[in-house]
Amino acid sequence: MATKTVVTEKRYRIGEFATKTGLSGPTLRYYEKEGLVKPHRSDNGLRYYTDADASWIKFLLHLKGTGMTIEQLKQYVAWRAEGDATITKRLQLLKNVRRGFLQEFEELQHSMTILNDKIDWYQGKVDGHISDNEGFANYLASLNHEE
Amino acid sequence: MATKTVVTEKRYRIGEFATKTGLSGPTLRYYEKEGLVKPHRSDNGLRYYTDADASWIKFLLHLKGTGMTIEQLKQYVAWRAEGDATITKRLQLLKNVRRGFLQEFEELQHSMTILNDKIDWYQGKVDGHISDNEGFANYLASLNHEE
DNA sequence: CTATGAGTTAAAGTCGACTTTAACTAATGT
DNA sequence: ACATTAGTTAAAGTCGACTTTAACTCATAG
C-alpha cells in the first residue's frame, strides 16, 4: 500500500511570519491582543500563522495605510466576526474611511506642490537663476498656483 | 499740520491667530518653545502674530503634511536661521523629504486601490451581483491588479 | 470697579501605537 | 548534553505631538 501524503499548508512561526509581513514579533502579539489577527497553535503551544493569515494582515495594513486607526480596525474585525448581518455597516465604515482618505489625499497633493515649489526656489538660488534677495513669497506669486 | 497716519500691520493675539491658522493656543506656544515660530510681544508682554507669521505657519504645516517631523522642522528652521551658507543643506533635506513622500504616495495609491476593490466587493454583495460565497481573494483575482 | 474672558508660565498628563523588560519554556545545531 | 536561538506571558516603558492643569496676570464691557 502506497504512503498517503497529506498536503498541509505551510506553518510560519512568529519570527518567520514577522519577517514575511514586515511586522515585529511583539507587534504581531499586540495585534493579536487587540483581536486583529488570530494565529493558530501547534501541539507544543507555539503560535503559527498561514499564508491566509499573511493575506489578511496585508489587507489590514492597507486599511491602516488609508488612515484607519487600530480602534477602527477592531470595529471592522468585530463586525466581520458577526457575519453577513453587518455587511452594510462594514461597507459604510469603509466608505467613510475612503471619504476621509480622499480629502487627505488632496491636502497631500497641495503640500507636494508647495514642497516642489520650495525645492525649485532653492535650486534656483543655488544655480543662480533667482536673485539673492527674491523671497519665496515673491517667487510663489510668480507661479500661478491658487492658495 | 495734517495728522500723520502710520499704516501698521495687523496684530493678532494668540486666540485670534489660533483660529486663523487652525492650531490651538497651546500648540502655538508649543511650536514656539520648539523654535518653529517666533511671535512678537506688545508693550504689555502679550504675544502677537502678523500675517507674515501666518504664511510661515502655513508653509511649516505643508512641510509637516509631507511627513516631516517636528525635529526635522526644527533642523530646517535652525539652518534657515544660519543664513545662506546652509542653503544646500536645506535643499538636500527637502529633497530627501520629497523622496520619502513620493514613496509613501505610491503606497497610499496602492492602499486606495485595495480599499476601492473591497468597497466594490461589498457593494456587489449588497446589490447581489456577487454570489454569497465568493470570497474577496477570489474577487480580487477576477480583477487584473498585480500584488 | 469688578466680573468675565484672554493670556502668561512651567510642569504634568494624555493618546495611539508600539517596544522593551523580566522571567520564564521550547527548539535546534554540534 | 549543552549552548544558542526562538518563543511564551504580563506589565511597564517609550515616543511624538500635543493637551491639560494650576496658579497666576492682563484686558475690557457694564
pLDDT in tens, A18-59: 999 999 999 999 999 999 999 999 999 999 999 999 999 999
Residue pair B73/B36 in contact (Cβ under 8 Å)? The answer is: yes
A104 Cβ partners below 8 Å, 6+ apart? A67
The DSSP symbol for A4 reads P
Band of residue B50 on the pLDDT scale cut at 50, 70, 90? very high
Distance, in Å, from the CA atom of A62 to the CA atom of A24, rounded to the nearest integer, reads 17
- What part of B 24-63 touches A (C-beta under 8 Å)? 55, 59, 62-63
* Residue numbers in A near B114 (CB within 8 A): 59, 62-63
Q: Which three cell numbers stand for residue A99?
A: 471619504
Band of residue A9 on the pLDDT scale cut at 50, 70, 90? confident
Domain that holds residue A34: 1-65
Mean pLDDT confidence for A6-10: 78
A68 Cβ partners below 8 Å, 6+ apart? A76, A97
Out of A65, A88, A119, a domain closes at: A65
Smallest CA–CA separation between B15 and chain A, in Å? Answer: 23
Give yes or no: residues B94 and B126 share one domain: yes
Residue A41: its H or E element = strand A40-41
Smallest CA–CA separation between A9 and chain B, in Å? Answer: 17
Give yes or no: residues B3 and B54 share one domain: yes
Q: How many domains does chain B have?
A: 2
